[in-house]
Structure 1
């Protein structure tokens, strides 16, 4: 756990919202952080204690519990704790202790308060969507339809016990709903088969289900909350609960569903990944990402929270594969830095993601080191593919030697792209401006990033080309307040919420960051920082951020609905499947994006 000044600086610079602060301010804040080492099991703070400041986890893991000692969350590197108390009365609202040996960076309370008052981007990060009330579990406030098994497995009351048992075995379920003429009349569980059939010596092949089922079972409607399930299961001492719509059963909730739902969290998945010993083992963890997406969207989390948590899993998988690669291949011959670009680089991954990555190598590299880096890149990239992050169709991966080079080569790449801004150079520059360090020696990128932003922003021809490149993806607007949907094929009457939805805003954010020499990579953070730096006007930023939020959230909701329906999530949405209200607002959002594109093209970004 390194805690030198340079290590702390490199780490803090990579954490949002600190990466959005002006350079001078960032350096001041870095000096104010106080490193604190604690052994596993040590108390960090206790409920109602005065908080000395905000804690940023640099290494290790922490658990947070409420006043009844119920686990609220497990936190890992880059997570913060203590902000709720500081936002309230300065006293801890929870208990926190180190699960492992940890390295914490403590930002004094006075400094936190100053940043909150002087920097809107910083303030928004810690207040957006947060409540000062600590809830025991967000799960309790979810709708029951978010976790029920659907459709339910049913049988007739006239079926035999043996037929029911075989049905349960074939579907791998522990209960069946007994339905007669479309109406729920009973329920049978594996426990009933043991207690009411085997223990009583009944013949399964001759005994009808009606003789051993629980008749007229209690059920809940589709509008019930998970807290209603908890309460009813505890009150009635039952483990299976049908969910109905009128008299028609539409699903089943079991204690196993509740346990599985609670276990599916980004924190638990990151923790499991950190202990995995192979890519195959990791793939079983990342396979739960679609269910996590449903859970997060169902909890009404903001889109930037959902995509950040999903990206955290990709980061953890990448870092674990890097450690496994070094364990197999031996230590690297020279220092290196693994970076992500694309949606992972911007921390905007959804339920559909390929891999985009590269390696910066220290300039002491010689060609005799190439074999190690070839094998290293292949190990990590193959492992990511196994985990569901499929190979990039454009080969923007570290396995391509073009993207695994010493820093001096990368510096020449950026110089050439900026000085000779052709179409290919523009495309590559757009991808590489979204780079974010994942593991390795961060100093290999930090100076190059600042140098490239300065050089690029001073080249008016390059900026003009970048603006032109950002206008290639147009919002799907049609005539007469309609949408420009696809006209044929399996995607007929649908729109691409990635390439014609979020990508145009990604492109705008990238250009604003270039114009203002802004270091954030995340699109929303870029827009907020661009507003603060007056690259775009306050009204223009407000409208564009609102439009982006709506587009991104509808994209995620559509993916979650696809997962719940048993389909693979994708980026295609049928706008005419939406209600009139949502459809109208979506179109208005696309109009805002097009207007901002026009303003940028006409050189009016800062005045719109």
Structure 2
């Protein structure tokens, strides 16, 4: 019986039940062996009397339609069958046949129904789609999250009274109001008034010190002259983690909170620090005080440590990617400003672009650099040597911070990727109009860009060209074929396809045969739908029903992306903690039975989406 208990504890939905209940199930279980080819249940035959749990082996699900028998699925260890017939009290909708010698645990119908009545999560498990199952796996990890980050609402952090003033209030009067209320910030109510979150300014105690006292402004100066407007606001019911990311992304120390379109309070950096002072993301002042290479390197090490903390806290991999992107962006801006201080002001407007995973907000651990630089047309003659020197300073400083140079030389130090706006526009037009192998490779890198620093508007310069790709069916077809070069490593029988040779035997690459496949599909769907976003999850969500991607498939791919990404990141962080070089190659035998099952579900969703793309774009006919 102990063996049965151990097995059930490792597989949902039994893993969600109390131990005493699992022991009760184990004592009631019947064990039955089925030889290869034995028919266990018959479509349209006698209703099932048991819930079958596969202990060892696998079974085929066969369904007859119009006289044709189709293999609809293959189930393996830890999976269940017979429950549809049990729940409906009707004949089975599929024939179940042993694909190989199979051992099953049989749970009596009466006990199955009692478990469904007493434990709603148990009942829900048998009524869910693949999307729901993957989502539940993520929710279970999320449920263990640090409550301060993922369960506390921002409105619960409000400690200061809300102070509001009109825009013509003097700075002396505004400072007096803040002192009386013991508030560190006030809201400037701008026309049409009514404390609307879309039309309010903010002034903090730091603003009064830096913009009034330090500048020697007259105390009768209207507060509107020193405010920041419009203020960066967030909904009051957002989670603390969302507010923390917003604060880091925008480099602010106060966040006005809105409810129903109106500001109801302000939370400060101190409020976050009071809630969770040990979180490394709450130490941006360390970067501001950095004076040496060692200080900057310490900051990047701190960001890496944050990844481990967020993993332990139960964060989703998409949340971790956003947090790391915000922290790395702050570092990059600091480095670029230092370079500008050394070289003097730039001779013309420009923008520093980050590419690939960083451009998608999906970089987690430190990887090699992918960046580029775009500057204004008709720039003065000294622009190119200035930006060449700037790029070398920035890239070299990033190297000293632990970000290696790109092996493919996709960096702003490469003159090819440091060009005026018109040259970049021609690059993008050429990649779309002549989609050869090289163009498709560049598409995968440069279409996933975003600007981190600089005044040049790259969205207006490059994004319209990218969005016009939806009208080029040849380009989309070639991109679809490229997206299918790697196939999901799962076969028709829902078995993982592992490497079989050399030192990679028994491994599976969770990047190139996992998350990267979903990234490529998301890029394709976004271009087909005319969606401008670069983030994979945003692309999938916004492309659904506006491209060949259905809403159901989008949700399945999102859940798969989160789950595969989380498995990959956990594996890499474990290696990092052991002093090893992080690898995308995961030893499947070291995954738990639950993790293997979740991985199969996720890869199955990818395989289904890939088959749909092959049919939609007729990739087999593309030369």
TM range (shorter): 0.5 to 0.7
Residue deviations 1:541-577, cap 9 Å, x none? 1211111111111112222322344434332211221
* Structure 1 gaps, min length 5: 1-33, 63-75, 114-133, 140-261
Q: Distance in 1 between matches of 2:326 and 2:370?
A: 15
Q: Is the 8 A contact 1:544 1:593 kept in 2?
A: yes
Q: Does 1:482 align with 2:511?
A: no
Q: Is the 8 A contact 1:339 1:359 kept in 2?
A: yes
Residue deviations 1:70-119, cap 9 Å, x none? xxxxxx9999655234899xxxx99x999x99698979644589xxxxxx
Q: Secondary structure at the match of 2:236?
A: helix
1:195 corresponds in structure 2 to none
1:281-292 pair list within 5 angstroms: 281-292=295-306
Q: Distance in 2 between matches of 1:283 and 1:58?
A: 34
The farther-off stretch of 288-297 and 474-483 is 474-483
Q: Does 1:394 align with 2:408?
A: yes
Q: Does 1:377 align with 2:384?
A: no
Q: Distance in 1 between matches of 2:434 and 2:273?
A: 57
Match of residue 586, structure 1, among 599, 612, 619 = 599
1:571 corresponds in structure 2 to 584
Q: Distance in 1 between matches of 2:570 and 2:251?
A: 38
2:336 corresponds in structure 1 to 322
1:404 corresponds in structure 2 to 418
Q: Secondary structure at the match of 1:602?
A: helix
Match of residue 511, structure 1, among 524, 539, 542 = 524
1:162-561 pair list within 5 angstroms: 262-268=277-283, 270-443=284-457, 445-478=458-491, 480-531=493-544, 533=546, 535-561=548-574
Q: Distance in 1 between matches of 2:251 and 2:535?
A: 30
Match of residue 84, structure 1, among 236, 261, 267 = 236
Q: Distance in 2 between matches of 1:562 and 1:438?
A: 30
- TM-score where L is the length of structure 1: 0.59
Q: Distance in 2 between matches of 1:352 and 1:395?
A: 17
- Structure-2 change in CA distance of 1:447 and 1:567 (3 Å): same
- TM-score where L is the length of structure 2: 0.58
Q: Is the 8 A contact 2:525 2:539 kept in 1?
A: yes
| CA drift at 1:135 | 10
Q: Distance in 1 between matches of 2:321 and 2:557?
A: 19
Residue deviations 1:307-338, cap 9 Å, x none? 11112222111111100100111111111100
Q: Distance in 2 between matches of 1:42 and 1:368?
A: 45
1:150 corresponds in structure 2 to none
CA RMSD of aligned residues (A): 4.1
Q: Is the 8 A contact 1:308 1:348 kept in 2?
A: yes
Q: Distance in 2 between matches of 1:557 and 1:277?
A: 33
Q: Distance in 1 between matches of 2:616 and 2:204?
A: 47
Q: Distance in 2 between matches of 1:296 and 1:97?
A: 17
Residue deviations 1:365-405, cap 9 Å, x none? 24542211111001001111111111111111000000000
* Structure 2 gaps, min length 5: 1-166, 188-193, 207-227, 264-270, 619-623
The count of corresponding residues between Structure 1 and Structure 2 is 405
Q: Secondary structure at the match of 2:341?
A: helix
Q: Distance in 2 between matches of 1:61 and 1:452?
A: 44
Q: Distance in 2 between matches of 1:457 and 1:586?
A: 32
Q: Is the 8 A contact 2:184 2:204 kept in 1?
A: no
| CA drift at 1:303 | 1.0
